[in-house]
Structure 1
Amino acid sequence: MVFSSSAVTSGAECAMHIGGSATGAQIGGLYDGGSTSGATHVTDVTAGVGGGGMPGGVPGGLIPELLDR
């Protein structure tokens, strides 16, 4: 997933979840702080650090589920 925003600080730790619901401050369709309910934890990432990725994408479509909330 690629997300670019001046609100994201390089080196910040981010948790990625799919499904469920989220609370907290919404920044460009993503949530900062708060909590999740009924969500599945996928991975943790560090902003500004590239990774290997997940072959074939994430089941259920990670991006639309996060951006539609």
Structure 2
Amino acid sequence: MVATFKECARFLYPLFKFSLLAVVECCMQRDHLAAMDQSIKLPIGNAPWLLCGSYDETTRKYLQSVKRLVTLCQ
């Protein structure tokens, strides 16, 4: 479990260049569904064609790490 969270921290480091504020605020309000929605919008914006599974490896790791943290908040 510790290794997983260390891995998440390493993958999330580049995301601090972006705003994670919306995800954190949703988690603090215990609106976990909105937090997941915001975490998906964070790396891809509103481009619907990217939802077809064409994430690159880095984006996939970002999404997975944010999802794990939101799940931990739940």
Instruction: Write 1 or 2 for the structure with the bigger share of strand.
Output: 1
TM, length-normalised to structure 1: 0.30
